[in-house]
Amino acid sequence: MNTLRHVLSLLLLMALSPVHAAELVVGQVAPLSGVLAATGAQMVLGARICFEHVNATGGIHGAKIRHVVKDDAYKIEETIRLTQEAIERDKVVALIGFAGTANLTELLRRNILQQANIALVAPYTGGEPLRSPFNPSLFHIRAGYADEAEHMVGQLVTLGIKDIGVYYQNDGFGKAGLAGVEAALQRRELKLLASAPYERNKLDDSVAQAVAAFRQSGVSAIIMISINPTTAAFVKAFRAAGGNAQLFNISVVDPAELVRLAGVENMHGLGISQVVPFPYSPTLPVIREFRELFAKYAPKEATLSYTSFEEFIGAKVLVEGLRRAGPRPTPEKVLRALESLGRHDVGGFQVNFSRDNRIGSKYVEVTVIGREGKLLR
């Protein structure tokens, strides 16, 4: 009888004690092959080093994070398929760091995230259609392309440069950036002098056509809404043709990859807008933490980048949401926890979320690739 009472007492204690999940599954669909493969690898690395550190220091409410990564090759239908797979088969409690304005636009159009009532933190896009109208599933860490365009146009006009062109990807991503530049010019009672598109996932004769169009128009500056391979191809061809306009690109490119693809002789002087602080100088607590954990958990051949730092910040925000969601969180509990963050400091960089706001930051600054191929502020 005493043994039975003891067993019953233990069972009662177990029932009254908090139940901890064995693991928390976080999904990431990223372009690990195709034209955006280098960017996708950095996105995954930034999130992973944060999660590995959390797991190594006790997890969240005793549970470890399992980081499930799937390669969509920057293809919209693969993004859709793999997201559904992560939600339905892998039972993820949250998502992090997808890439592609058009990819995410289609996810939202099909109501996949909304029906699952699941949060996607730190999407690697600044497309305005993903920000307005309001969508409760997306938690944006970065400023929008319109914010980046405003900053670059403002800097150019301040320098007396008003003849501006745009080289852009012919999809939701590129058109969002193009619209941002046009709006920034309109606020200054100016008009775009020239524009030239290229097709998504292609490197074709559109580069030569764009070079010819900009050379003929006589632009003084070109803002590129373009990814690494097409940016490198365009800049190399434009400089070879004698083009000397000031060149800018929005934050989705990696300067080291651009220099590798096109050579420092072509890339030096390129301005790149950035949406998180400069990660190459340990001026903020979050940068020092990132650099320390990067040295500890990243592969030896990996190098620091803005992209990996941005996703590291996103992962820290998601981890805080997972903590606040309590033991055994559901996707909805995580989403509600994230929207309750308010003004949250991750170490000198703040995000701000609420029930009716998912735009966490509007931080923008411009950097330049120097003559040695290093990024300068």
Q: Which of 247, 274, 301 is the endpoint of a domain? A: 274
Structural domain includes residue 79: yes
Question: What are the pLDDT digits (tens) for 286-327?
Answer: 999 999 999 999 999 999 999 999 999 999 999 999 999 999
Does 111 share its domain with 149? no
pLDDT of 208 strictly over 80: yes
Question: Which pLDDT value is given to residue 9?
Answer: 45
pLDDT of 108 strictly over 90: yes
Does 122 share its domain with 205? no
pLDDT of 373 strictly over 60: yes
pLDDT of 195 strictly over 60: yes
Does 221 share its domain with 290? no
Q: Which of 248, 274, 300 is the endpoint of a domain? A: 274
Structural domain includes residue 372: no
Does 192 share its domain with 260? yes
Question: What are the pLDDT digits (tens) for 312-369?
Answer: 999 999 999 999 999 999 999 999 999 999 999 999 999 999 999 999 999 999 999 9
Range of the domain at 44: 23-143+282-353
Does 178 share its domain with 266? yes
Measured over the CA atoms of residue 145, residue 169, residue 312 and residue 116, the dihedral's sign is positive
Does 156 share its domain with 263? yes
129 in Cβ contact with 172 (< 8 Å): yes
Q: Give the number of C-alpha atoms closer than 13 A to the C-alpha of residue 223, restricted to the C-beta side.
A: 34
Q: How many structural domains are present in the chain?
A: 2
Question: What are the pLDDT digits (tens) for 146-169?
Answer: 999 999 999 999 999 999 999 999
Taking all residues of the chain, what is their mean pLDDT, rounded to a whole number?
A: 93
Nearest to 260 by CA among 365, 367, 369, 124: 369
Structural domain includes residue 5: no
pLDDT band at 205 (very low <50, low <70, confident <90, very high): confident
pTM of the model: 0.90
Does 63 share its domain with 118? yes
Question: What are the pLDDT digits (tens) for 301-310?
Answer: 999 999 999 9
Distance in angstroms (rounded) separating the CA atoms of residues 324 and 202? 43
Query: The tokens 């923008």 sit on which residue?
Result: 364
